[in-house]
Chains A and B, each alone.
Chain A
Amino acid sequence: MLLNKDKWPEFVGRLAGKKLLAPQSGGDAVRFAPVSDGEVPMLDFKNTRVPPKQALFPQTETMYRFQLGTEEIELPQLDEETIWLGVRPCDARAMAIVEKLFRWDIDDPYYLKRRELTTLVGLACNEPGLNCFCPSVGGGPASTEGLDLLMIDLDDRYLLEAITPKGEALLDVTGDLLDEVKADAVKEKEKVVSAAEKKIKRTVDTEGVSAGLPGLWEDPLWRRVSAACLGCGTCTYLCPTCHCFDIQDETEGFEARRCRMWDSCMFEEYTVHTSGHNPRPTRRERTRNRINHKYSYYVDKFAVTACVGCGRCVNLCPVNIDIIEILRQVKEAL
């Protein structure tokens, strides 16, 4: 369906009743933030600094609450329906990829409940970022995987494509604002998407990488590519596919909760045993694990690369470690 941009405020108004989040500028970055009643988010951004993975996997999630000294356990109320507006296709694809793990073997109740309550409205990328490389890892600027609805910016109007019943439901409640798609819009979409694809300059050649990585276990490249690493964990915290977590108990007076929070394989504490023994004792082993996990282990297990080419780890690494360059060196060493 087509939505004229002059009807955008009305379209957003129709979504009221559910919690709405959208990218908003604040300080030095664009972040997803709640949209208050009457506010109209302008979708003028490249991408958010923190990926919307927090929609399904909050940085800290209460698993349950309890009172010290009693047996009573209270589960969190997860019942608020939420719409995330302006999710980039790479970030939605990451959520679909991570969902494979949270559904593997046993279902993760928190992740899947949140997915059930969340509607992801995507916005195709017309202006990809400097370090975007989604087409190299199976995505694209208008990829629909993981989304409920995709919006494509056609200058004065949005083309809306429902991907799931949840996306169709949004088109139903806004139906009177929308126009039928005509051939000119389809053509325009093709033009816009192909122009966006051409703007993506960085590429990764992953052919043979998943099968070849285990053979590079002792290769000197791991020392080289990890030499500058500070172990800050930015690459993993801001990665839309990174999903590792820690579990901790917290107390305040007699009130307590067990929660899980983002963790990072780049931290020494992540794998260190109580005895002090650490199977991944230095940043060389931790970097090696990070790359292997994304480009080999996850491929073995779920037949998909756990990297969507969003470029955040490249953009935001304080010492300019570049995963594209690491993969180039991997290819060279194969």
Chain B
Amino acid sequence: MSSANPLMPQMATIIDITVETPDIKTLRVVGKDGLPFDFMPGQCAMLSVPPVGEAIFSITSSPTCRECLEFSIKDVGSVSGALHALAPGQQIGIRGPYGNGFPVEEIKGKNLLFIGGGIGLAPLRSLIGYGFANREEYGHIDIVYGARSPADMIRKSEVKETWGGQSDTSVYLTVDAEFPDWNGHVGFVPSYVTELAFTPEKRVAITCGPPIMIKFVLQALEKLQFSPEQVITTLEMKMKCGVGKCGRCNLGSVYVCKDGPVFSLAQLNALPAEY
């Protein structure tokens, strides 16, 4: 068998780890010669910690960052737990990129409304960074980001200072309940979106978060008169191969690892609601 085996990971090194929240870390990863592969915002990669196993994660860095790939990972399972136990300098396996990515060309010239919840900011951050690196290609950028508590927000200073300081950009933060160190908005993400009353004109909404948040965000956007074509989300699915063979990530006849994970609401409406 040749080295072109698509299921074979290449070795990569963790060069830096940021502790984001009590259960989320951001890993910076390089291949043997720089980036392990080229990719587009919204694509994913399979990370291996031998002999624990392999799992799929969204790439959170923008492809315009050429130094490394970044993954913001929540410690929830065996592979994510093993990744949390690693230190800078240690090696992991990586293969990818997988999936279709966000439609960066189709949304050119549009105002972008990002709606993220918790770790759901991770895939959005790749496109947000890409948008800032290609600022003239996109209109006004709004970012609504919420978490259970201030301590559960990831990339806090980047969101507030770096993104908040960009031209023609507005950042709106919210947490689920009152906290002593929080002076900002309190309330769930979907109701904050309703409150902010975004208009659908020339705008595309891109959302990711826990399934329950996505469900109510979609309802909120519908009430704000967004059409299904104007709403984009990225799905989570259990995956093993990433190349459309192992079978489990199907929605009807499409595989989320190949034809997704990014779908417009119009596309999702035409597929079985099994996500």
* 8 A Cβ contacts from A243-295 to B: 243-251, 256, 258, 260, 263, 265, 270-275, 277, 279-280, 285, 289, 292-293
B243, A105: Cβ atoms under 8 Å?
yes
* 8 A Cβ contacts from B1-57 to A: 1-2, 4-8, 11, 48, 50-55
A271, B238: Cβ atoms under 8 Å?
yes
Q: How far is the CA of A212 from the CA of B241 in the complex (A)?
A: 30
Which of B241, B243, B244, B248 neighbours the largest number of chain A CB atoms within 10 Å of its CB? B248
Chain B CB within 8 A of A205 CB: no
> Nearest A residue to B81 by beta-carbon distance?
A274
A250, B246: Cβ atoms under 8 Å?
no
Q: Which of B1, B211, B245, B258 contacts A75 (CB 8 A)?
A: B1
Q: Nearest chain B CB to A87's CB is how many angstroms away?
A: 23
B250, A297: Cβ atoms under 8 Å?
yes
Q: Nearest chain A CB to B121's CB is how many angstroms away?
A: 16
Chain B CB within 8 A of A66 CB: yes
Q: How far is the CA of A161 from the CA of B123 in the complex (A)?
A: 56
Chain B CB within 8 A of A109 CB: yes
Return the CB mask of B216-253 against A: 1 if under 8 Å, else 0.
00000000000000000000111011011111101011
Which A positions have Cβ atoms within 8 angstroms of B?
A: 63-64, 66, 68, 71, 73, 75-76, 78, 101-102, 104-106, 108-110, 113, 214, 217, 243-251, 256, 258, 260, 263, 265, 270-275, 277, 279-280, 285, 289, 292-293, 296-298, 300-301
Contacts A78-B1, A244-B248, A245-B245 known; A106 to B6 CB distance under 8 Å? yes
B7, A63: Cβ atoms under 8 Å?
yes
A66, B243: Cβ atoms under 8 Å?
no
Q: Which 3 A-B pairs have the closest CB atoms?
A: A244-B247, A274-B77, A297-B253
Q: How far is the CA of A191 from the CA of B54 in the complex (A)?
A: 55
Which B positions have Cβ atoms within 8 angstroms of A?
A: 1-2, 4-8, 11, 48, 50-55, 76-77, 80, 91, 210-211, 236-238, 240-241, 243-248, 250, 252-253, 258, 272, 274-275
Q: Which residues of B contact A104 (CB under 8 A)?
A: 244
B76, A300: Cβ atoms under 8 Å?
no
B245, A101: Cβ atoms under 8 Å?
yes
Q: Which residues of A contact B50 (CB under 8 A)?
A: 66, 68, 249, 256, 258
Q: How far is the CA of A245 from the CA of B248 in the complex (A)?
A: 8
Q: Nearest chain B CB to A251's CB is how many angstroms away?
A: 5
B245, A265: Cβ atoms under 8 Å?
no
Q: Which residues of B contact A108 (CB under 8 A)?
A: 243, 245
A250, B243: Cβ atoms under 8 Å?
no
> Nearest B residue to A76 by beta-carbon distance?
B1
Contacts A249-B50, A258-B50 known; A272 to B5 CB distance under 8 Å? no
Q: Which of B11, B250, B258 contacts A105 (CB 8 A)?
A: B258
Q: List 8 A-B contacts (CB under 8 A).
A: A75-B1, A105-B258, A106-B244, A243-B245, A246-B240, A274-B238, A292-B272, A297-B253
Q: Which residues of B contact A217 (CB under 8 A)?
A: 272
Which of B1, B91, B247, B258 neighbours the largest number of chain A CB atoms within 10 Å of its CB? B247
Q: How far is the CA of A69 from the CA of B250 in the complex (A)?
A: 36
Q: How far is the CA of A105 from the CA of B257 in the complex (A)?
A: 12
Q: Which residues of A contact B6 (CB under 8 A)?
A: 106, 109
Q: How far is the CA of A78 from the CA of B5 in the complex (A)?
A: 13
Q: Which residues of A contact B241 (CB under 8 A)?
A: 245, 247, 260
A245, B246: Cβ atoms under 8 Å?
yes
B1, A244: Cβ atoms under 8 Å?
no
A244, B243: Cβ atoms under 8 Å?
no
> Nearest A residue to B11 by beta-carbon distance?
A71
Q: Which residues of B contact A245 (CB under 8 A)?
A: 240-241, 245-247
Which of B51, B55, B76, B77 neighbours the largest number of chain A CB atoms within 10 Å of its CB? B51
Which of B48, B210, B253 neighbours the largest number of chain A CB atoms within 10 Å of its CB? B253
